[in-house]
Amino acid sequence: MALDHPINSLGFAKPPAQTRVVVAMSGGVDSSVVAAELAGEGYDVVGVTLQLYDHGAALAKKGACCAGRDIHDARRVAETMGFPHYVLDYENTFREAVIDEFADSYLAGATPVPCIRCNERVKFKDLLETAKDLDADCMATGHYIQRKMGARGPELHAAADRTRDQSYFLFSTTPEQLDYLRFPLGHLESKAETRALALRHGLPVADKPDSQDICFVPDGNYAKVIEKLRPGAAEPGEIVSVDGTVLGRHDGVIHYTIGQRRGLGIGGLADPLYVVRLDVEARRVIVGPKDMLATRRVPLREINWLGDGDFLAGGPRRIEVKCRSTKPPTEAVLHPISDTRAEVELLVAEEGISPGQACVFYAPDSTRVLGGGWIWRGA
């Protein structure tokens, strides 16, 4: 049976003008280009920006998404391209779903990744539902990741530009969400192409610097934010070696992360020492030699499976994994324990793997993202 209209670039069998797409606009160049490109193709674009935290504090901050300046920039892009733009107050949702867990995780000695939780619990949940309430056919974002149609439906794939790839931060995207989402920048080969498109559309954000920090953590100072959120959190304690020898004092466990070497304040030792464990209850930072950081078995929970077939019934399988966003995928064996728990066996041990981080699964010799889980205790 012939289609009434050819498939458009977003995958719908109707003209762009009859296809409504909500674009999540952070105010940066990436999401602005997505909105401008779709508007230029004739789609019914609706721009939405989320106000996620205190606006007044944000105005004085540069280098992070979702601040007051960014809301203003998103609005200017919408005016330039002639489509409606809305700002939604998600401060309470963001605090409850992202910031509170971030603070509590750090206090528990973990190393959280709040950007993943924001995508999972705010942008791809509440904002996605808002897009549906607006009768949008889909929601588009400026993330560098690809959505490809496979034999069983849409698949998640790493970006063509591996230096910009954001698949680590989007592993918890569910199949249902993936069906509704679109990522128009994922196929681009470089950020230069994105900026060239911004210039072509005459966007006021064409030369805007990329955001670097977590949006609610000014200057990357996690401890300062946590002290503000949880007064009294930075209680002093001891820095001890793995054999229990007291080597020094610290001003709060929240100032340390697994694998840290610099800034320990215990110089004068023959061999360098690293943070190998955080004992939050005893307020102790435990340090040891580098080889103690090496891990081969990584326990995971909150598994999100995007591969083919049943996760648990499939049994052990060879995959590639990333336990840090900045490292390339490495070979591993995935051992399912339940529908939501698993253990990853790394073929080559890695250093500095910490509870609170994500472990993301990839198909071997492929760009396909198979999901992932959260590292939940020291291996």
Residues 301 and 284 in one domain: no
Residues 206 and 353 in one domain: no
Q: Could you write out the three-class secondary structure of 327-373? A: CCCEEEEEEECCCCCEEEEEEEEEECCCCCCEEEEECCCCCEEEEEE
Instruction: Indicate the pairing of strand 44-51 with strand 284-288.
Output: unpaired
Half-sphere exposure of 177 (CA within 13 A, CB side): 24
- Active-site entry in 65, 118, 323, 359: 118
Nearest to 369 by CA among 358, 355, 354: 358
Is 148 part of any domain? no
Is 165 part of any domain? no
User: Is residue 215 flagged as an active site residue?
Assistant: yes
- Which amino acid makes up residue 164? R
Task: Give the single-character DSSP code of 208.
Answer: P
- Mean pLDDT (10-residue bins), the chain, 379 residues: 77 97 96 98 97 59 60 95 95 92 86 91 94 97 97 96 96 97 97 96 92 76 83 87 92 87 79 89 91 93 96 95 93 97 96 91 96 82
Residues 284 and 300 in one domain: no
What pLDDT does 3 receive?
Answer: 55
Q: How far apart are CA 266 and CA 283, in angstroms?
A: 17
Residues 211 and 136 in one domain: yes
What pLDDT does 268 receive?
Answer: 66
Is 154 part of any domain? no
Say if CB 342 and CB 373 are below 8 A apart.
yes
DSSP states along 106-122: HHTT----HHHHHIIII
Residues 74 and 204 in one domain: yes
Residues 51 and 193 in one domain: yes
Domain enclosing residue 138, as ranges: 16-142+184-219
Is 147 part of any domain? no
Residues 196 and 66 in one domain: yes
Is 158 part of any domain? no
Is 206 part of any domain? yes
Helix, strand, coil shares, percent, the chain, to 5: 30, 25, 45
Question: Structure tokens of 96?
Answer: 């409850």
- Active-site entry in 66, 115, 138, 215: 215
Q: Which of 162, 195, 219 is the last residue of a domain?
A: 219
Residues 205 and 100 in one domain: yes
Backbone angles phi, psi at 137, to 5 degrees: -75, -25
Q: How far apart are CA 198 and CA 194, in angstroms?
A: 6
First CA to last CA distance, the chain: 56
Is 250 part of any domain? yes
- If one counts the domains in the chain, the total is 3
CATH code for the domain in which residue 56 is found: 3.40.50.620
Residues 94 and 213 in one domain: yes
CATH code for the domain in which residue 279 is found: 2.30.30.280
User: Which residues are bridge partners to 301 per DSSP?
Assistant: 374
Residues 242 and 305 in one domain: no
Residues 211 and 250 in one domain: no
Is 114 part of any domain? yes
Report helix, strand or coil for 376. Answer: coil
C-alpha torsion angle, residues 208, 213, 218, 221 (rounded to 10)? -150
Residues 214 and 90 in one domain: yes
Q: In which residue are the tokens 């030792």 written? A: 269
CATH code for the domain in which residue 350 is found: 2.40.30.10
Which residues make Cβ contacts (< 8 Å) with residue 192, sequence separation at least 6? Answer: none
